[in-house]
Structure 1
Amino acid sequence: MKSIYQQALGEKFDRLHPELQKKFGLTSDQKLMVLGQGRMTEIRGTPLILRPFLSIGSKDHLIFAERGKEVPFTLENYAYVDERGRESISYIRRFFFPYAIRGFDAVMSFDNEKQSLIDDLGKSGCLSTQMDLDVTREGGLLMHSREMRVADKFSFNGPRTSLYEHYDEKQKAFRVHVHVDHPLLGTLLMYEGLVHTEFLPITANHIPDRGILT
């Protein structure tokens, strides 16, 4: 079975760094999860006066208002088959601030009809977007979102997300850069940091609904 990233990238997948091929080659057949642990060097974005409005999104693990430096971070990836029969991977991100733990969650799957990677956002998955993928000359992975859709019914020109990830040979870890940008408000959220990962065995009953932990 090919992973959703292999399906989306095609022959480009073989150009990824071997460690990225291992991580993004995860499938439900393997019965493994990826556990990442590290720190985000800096989390920034959104004018201070607008940050309270982001608290609305924190309930659904869409976005959050807290900002800081050297923020402890964890990531859990579960590969599973969703209720529509699609191979899917959950992204369960947790940021540990001094007075709050915030989530930034998603589920990615490959849509055979659209021949594209779909990113369902938050715990509810009510917002979704298609993702364009590419591989850099150094073997890193680039992902850029398109317009957002609400309940897969209508689209709007909302925030766009860009993600760049590459493997740091010296640190033996993944370097992650994420940028969420709004066409009118500018940068809503930007973070970058170093994440060490390991592969752990799982059983089916370890995977919660939509692969997202509450």
Structure 2
Amino acid sequence: MSSVVLSALGSEAERLHPMLRRRFGVSTEAGYSCVGRGVMDRVWHGPWWTLPFLWLGSWRNILVLGTGTHVPFTVDSYAYVDSYGRETVTVVRTFEMRPGRRRRFDATLVADGPGRVLDYLGTHQHLAVDLTPSVLPDGSLQVVSGDQRFYEGPIGFRFPLLLSGTAVLRESYDDERQCFTIDVRVTNRRLGPLFGYSGTFTCEFPRVVGDAVPAAVRPLREESRR
């Protein structure tokens, strides 16, 4: 099974920087995952009235509550096949806001046809978000979020973007510094900027996939609805 992100990009993936192709090429077929370690120069959130959004999101590791500079950061991306037989990449971002105070932002990616990735957010996959990846002229990766659905037990409904936000992620590789750079911004149409972070990290590519993937980075519940 091929990479979730590269499959969505199709032939466009050839324009990605080679290190980004390796980073987002994790899959059970490729036989490796990706573990990143670095520092976020800045983790920020919007004005005080945006805090209820962040508090609700942080409840199940959907958003990060807190601010800081020079924040130690890890991003663990592991490939496995989920209980529904789907090639899956779990992405766990951990921010050490201060010693002993960690915040997690969990996502699980599955393929959703040409040009799109389905992203389940949080420990229980309550939110399903459509992601559209693209390659920028300089070989960087951009990912933009779209429609969102909320699922809990028998309940399922489209989550209005008016009550949520649109995320834009950009990742690049800096050849001179030999590191990945990342910038993430989440904005609400009316409230403006909600949350974001930016910084740098380096990666290792362990041969850990499938059943060997640690339980700590897998979601506690899996959702089949798209």
Please give the TM-score of this superposition, normalised by the length of structure 2. Answer: 0.86
Give a deviation string over 1:128-183, Cα, whole Å, max 9, x none: 11111110111100100002111293222231111000100011110001011112
Letter in structure 2 aligned against 1:97: M
Aligned pairs, number: 212
Paired residues of 1:52 and 1:65 also in contact (CA < 8 A): no
Paired residues of 1:8 and 1:110 also in contact (CA < 8 A): yes
Question: What residue in structure 2 maps to residue 9 of structure 1?
Answer: 9
Map 1:118-197; keep pairs closer than 5 Å.
118-151=118-151, 153-155=156-158, 156-157=160-161, 158-197=164-203
List alignment gaps of at least 5 residues for structure 2.
221-226
In structure 2, distance between residues paired with 1:25 and 1:206? 16
In structure 2, distance between residues paired with 1:90 and 1:116? 16
List alignment gaps of at least 5 residues for structure 1.
none
Give a deviation string over 1:102-136, Cα, whole Å, max 9, x none: 01110111024x86210101111110111111101
1:53 is displaced (CA, Å) by 5.6
1:185 is displaced (CA, Å) by 1.7
1:210 is displaced (CA, Å) by 7.4
Paired residues of 2:115 and 2:132 also in contact (CA < 8 A): no
Question: What residue in structure 2 maps to residue 207 of structure 1?
Answer: 214
1:67 is displaced (CA, Å) by 0.3
Letter in structure 2 aligned against 1:198: E
Using a 3 Å threshold, how does the CA distance of structure 1 residues 145 and 108 change in structure 2: closer, same or farther?
Answer: same
| Secondary structure of residue in 1 paired with 2:5 | helix
Paired residues of 1:8 and 1:116 also in contact (CA < 8 A): yes
Structure 1 runs, 4 residues or longer, greater than 4 Å off: none
Paired residues of 1:32 and 1:79 also in contact (CA < 8 A): yes
Using a 3 Å threshold, how does the CA distance of structure 1 residues 210 and 93 change in structure 2: closer, same or farther?
Answer: closer
Letter in structure 1 aligned against 2:137: R
Give a deviation string over 1:65-86, Cα, whole Å, max 9, x none: 2101111000100011112211
In structure 1, distance between residues paired with 2:172 and 2:134? 12
| Between 102-111 and 114-123, the greater mean CA deviation after superposition | 114-123
Please give the TM-score of this superposition, normalised by the length of structure 1. Answer: 0.91
Letter in structure 1 aligned against 2:205: F
In structure 2, distance between residues paired with 1:133 and 1:107? 15
In structure 2, distance between residues paired with 1:210 and 1:110? 19
Question: What residue in structure 2 maps to residue 85 of structure 1?
Answer: 85
| Between 197-206 and 17-26, the greater mean CA deviation after superposition | 197-206
Using a 3 Å threshold, how does the CA distance of structure 1 residues 209 and 41 change in structure 2: closer, same or farther?
Answer: closer
Letter in structure 1 aligned against 2:77: N
1:52 is displaced (CA, Å) by 5.8
In structure 2, distance between residues paired with 1:154 and 1:56? 17
